[in-house]
Amino acid sequence: MVDEGCEPDLVSYNAIIDSLCKDRFVTEALDLFLKIKSEGILPNVVTYSTLIRGLCMSSRWKEAFMLLNEMLRANITPNIITFNTLVDGLCREGKVSKAHGAVKLMMQRGIEPDSITYNSLMDGYCLHNQVDQAREIFDLMVSKGCTPDVFTYNILIHCYSKRKMIDEEMRLLDEMRRKGLMANHVTYSSLIRGLCKAKSPCAAHKFFKDLCASGYSPDVVVYSVLIDGFCKHSCLDMALDLFHEMQKKLLKPNLIVYSTLIDGLFKAGKVKDAKELFSRLSIEGLHPDVFTYTIMVKGLCKEGLLDEALKVVRKMEGNGCSPNDCSYNVIIKGYLRHNDLSMATELIDEMVGKGFSADATTVELIVNNDLLVKKLLSCSKSSQGVKLK
């Protein structure tokens, strides 16, 4: 642009800053911000709001508030987007009290919270399972004449789901319908998860079938929640029926569905079926993640198939999916429980060398073995996370 004799204006710079922030190049965006100021170009509310969003995304809260204060000193009035960016970012980090402070400042500046503000506060409380406080925000929102939307109801329904408060969930669903709001996949997945936890997967399945009979077309996530519920209640046949139903409806099961079923098959002692399902992942164009691989390792260890479990761990590395602390602890416990101290020691060496620690169960298995305890502690630069009783 400059080479062609066309000087960029603030709109162009704002677009570049926005792109940098979205790509997480916040430091570079701040450098550009300083550059345009040095050239005498005055930033506007869009510039500041964009940078504040980028800083919030990077958890650089101190700088975000410094930028807000700079705006105020420059007599640039933050708008609802500026404040909502701060409130949402703080709530996602669990800093709800600070988010309330931002809302208070916002109202002092004559800007009334909107549904996005209230939704962010509710979501912040729900992340910490504080359902009563989330409900208070919901009621406050209504009392202020701000109409709850589908996102609002979904947040509260999800919160009730985590607490197994199914009656409250159903009341909210009825309220949504009375107000003409259309429940979506997020609504129904939360309700089905809540029914699985509070009552049974059969009750959730009945609700699911009633929805389908009324014309609802479930997505992969809704199916995955119900499949998970049946697997957790050892109803593997029902889970597999739903899996096949998905395929008949041309809904492609995702990695979560496969991982859930593989875990369920191992727990039911159907090792051959679990291995076959795992082998289908590549055929279906899916790549196992560390969670899926660890399920395989755990299932094989439980069956005493330690050599196969170790091959899976090595296969992970070969496929560019590095084992994490959970993967190592699972296979180490497998070898310890089968009294293969040599291999367990080798893997402890490897685990600690990568900066991971033994979990509580692994420590319990080695606590009476002085050699292994010394090995574990001597291999670690710091024994943090390894607490011996």
The CATH homologous superfamily for domain 1-78 is: Tetratricopeptide repeat domain (1.25.40.10)
Tokens 């940078």, located at residue: 51
Helix axes 115-127, 80-92, angle to 10 degrees: 10
Q: Quote the percentage of the chain above a pLDDT of 90.
A: 74
Q: Give the residue from 186, 270, 262, 194 showing the smallest Cα distance to 229.
A: 194
- Distance of alpha carbon 79 from the chain centroid: 29
For residue 132 the two structure tokens come to: 């009563």
Angle at 264 between CA 261 and CA 265, to 5 degrees: 85
pLDDT for 385 beyond 50? no
Please report, for the chain, the start and end positions of each structural domain, with discontinuous segments joined by +: 1-78, 218-286, 289-377
Identify the weakest region by mean pLDDT among 90-99, 121-130, 188-197, 355-364.
355-364
* Contact assessment for residue 261 and residue 240, using Cβ atoms and an 8 Å cutoff: yes
Q: How high is the pLDDT of residue 43?
A: 93
For residue 337 the two structure tokens come to: 């429980």
Better-predicted residue by pLDDT, 65 or 263: 263
Q: How high is the pLDDT of residue 365?
A: 78
Q: Other CB atoms closer than 10 Å to residue 347's CB: what's the count?
A: 21
Which residues have a Cβ under 8 Å from the Cβ of 181 and sit 6 or more positions away?
Answer: 149, 150, 153
* Element at 348 (helix H, strand E): helix 341-353
- Residues 257-291: tens digit of each pLDDT: 999 999 999 999 999 999 999 999 999 999 999 99
Q: How high is the pLDDT of residue 23?
A: 92
- CA pair distance 55, 338, nearest whole angstrom: 50
What confidence tier does 379 reach under pLDDT thresholds 50, 70, 90? low
Q: How high is the pLDDT of residue 151?
A: 96
Does domain 289-377 match CATH 1.25.40? yes
Which residues have a Cβ under 8 Å from the Cβ of 301 and sit 6 or more positions away?
Answer: 309, 330, 331, 333, 334, 337
- Residues 234-261: tens digit of each pLDDT: 999 999 999 999 999 999 999 999 999 9
Q: What is the arithmetic mean of pLDDT over 221-246?
A: 96
Q: Quote the percentage of the chain above a pLDDT of 70.
A: 93
Q: How high is the pLDDT of residue 81?
A: 92
What confidence tier does 53 reach under pLDDT thresholds 50, 70, 90? very high
- CA pair distance 290, 284, nearest whole angstrom: 18
For residue 262 the two structure tokens come to: 């593989």
User: Do 289-377 and 1-78 have the same topology in CATH?
Assistant: yes
Taking CA atoms, 249 is separated from 205, 216, 220, 245, 283, in Å, by 17, 13, 11, 6, 19
- CA pair distance 160, 170, nearest whole angstrom: 10
Start-to-end C-alpha separation, the chain: 67
Average pLDDT, the chain: 90
Amino acid identity of residue 261, one-letter, is L
Using CA atoms of 367, 369, 371, 376 in order, give the dihedral in degrees to the nearest 10: -30
- Residues 150-198: tens digit of each pLDDT: 999 999 999 999 999 999 999 999 999 999 999 999 999 999 999 999 9
Angle at 353 between CA 348 and CA 357, to 5 degrees: 60
* Element at 343 (helix H, strand E): helix 341-353
- This prediction has a pTM of 0.82
What confidence tier does 388 reach under pLDDT thresholds 50, 70, 90? very low
What confidence tier does 363 reach under pLDDT thresholds 50, 70, 90? confident
What confidence tier does 6 reach under pLDDT thresholds 50, 70, 90? low
Which residues have a Cβ under 8 Å from the Cβ of 144 and sit 6 or more positions away?
Answer: 112, 113
